[in-house]
Chains A and B, each alone.
Chain A
Amino acid sequence: MNDTDLAASFAIFAAKQRRADEVTPDHILLGCLRAISRFGIATLGPWSLDLEALGVDWVRQPDGLRPKVAYSAEAVELFDRAARIAKSARESGVGVNHLLAAFATEEGGLMGELKRAHGITSASWRAAVARLGQGETNGTNSGAESKRDRAGSEARSAREYLTPEEAAEALGIHVQTMRAYIRSGRLPAFRLAGERAIRLLRSDLEKVLEPLQGEKKEE
């Protein structure tokens, strides 16, 4: 599941939780923010947007709850706009950054509220989203790590779902050790529906961490 699929899944979940008839652009914005968030905070440029303040239970995972919802016509327009933005950027796939950029001109709904509450303009939003896609440039890049590598690293560190290889890297252990944790059940893992691919929740990684008690002095 890529970040766009994740954002769409969260958007549908947000619509279901709110008992909405349709998935609207508001739900898609919430889905995008959740997809880029960490610990319930979506950081975009100078703004730290608290998902809890937006009514999102950021710990709860999509669970296939009914009722059924369909995309609204406005949501379809938003996806179309994001695809056009991706094309204009000469990028083959539609990412969360393209979806977020598609909200830049929105004045109504949740985006309008965020604009008014945080002083966000179309230009400042697009600038923040652009940095999200490319990584911050702070002039300290020694050349050992390319911008693309850093952008990929930032994107991975913001994701809630990890591959076994990424999870192993996050804990600084060998991937075979990670797979052993999964096999033994010490770490919960999920299989993508109909696929062989396995994903782990970032927040679950702490389950294999045991606090050191320190060596007890002999009495």
Chain B
Amino acid sequence: MSFFVVKRDLPGITPEALQSAGIRAKSCCAEMTGEGQPVRWVRSFYLPETAQTHCYFEAASKSAVEEANQRARIPFTQIVEVVEMTPDMV
């Protein structure tokens, strides 16, 4: 399993719409996992200054993350694999 960041440009997005997207993301990840294609939404960061959102997912492939976001109908601009690093690892 790898980590991926999903970048979104969401100008004018409200906190309620973000919450709505979160529910949809969770349910679609659970559904795909139930189908045998594990995807996990790990966490998201909203950048108010740029109206961007960086959402981190764990999955076997980029295509699985892309599909989860398409099913949840959450727009994105880019999906890229990331390497995790924490203070404990250095």
Contacts and interface: CB of A to CB of B under 8 A. Distances in A.
Interface of A: 1, 4-5, 8-9, 11-12, 62-64, 66, 68-73, 75-76, 79-80, 82-84, 86-87, 94, 193-194
Interface string B22-37: 0110111011011110
Nearest to A193: B33
- Decide if the interface of chain B is mainly helix, strand, loop or mixed: helix
A193 B30 contact: yes
Interface residues of B, number: 24
- Decide if the interface of chain A is mainly helix, strand, loop or mixed: helix
Interface stretch (B4-12, B47-55, B68-76, B79-87): B68-76
A82 B20 contact: yes
Nearest to A65: B35
24 contacts: A5-B23, A5-B26, A8-B24, A8-B26, A64-B31, A68-B67, A69-B71, A70-B70, A70-B71, A71-B73, A72-B73, A73-B73, A75-B73, A76-B20, A76-B24, A79-B21, A83-B16, A83-B17, A83-B20, A84-B16, A87-B15, A193-B34, A194-B33, A194-B38
A184 B11 CA distance: 54
Nearest to B15: A87
A-B interface, 8 closest residue pairs, ranked by CB to CB distance from nearest: A8-B27, A64-B34, A83-B16, A79-B20, A70-B71, A64-B35, A193-B33, A83-B19
Given A12-B28, A70-B72, 5 more contacts: A70-B28, A71-B71, A76-B20, A76-B24, A82-B20
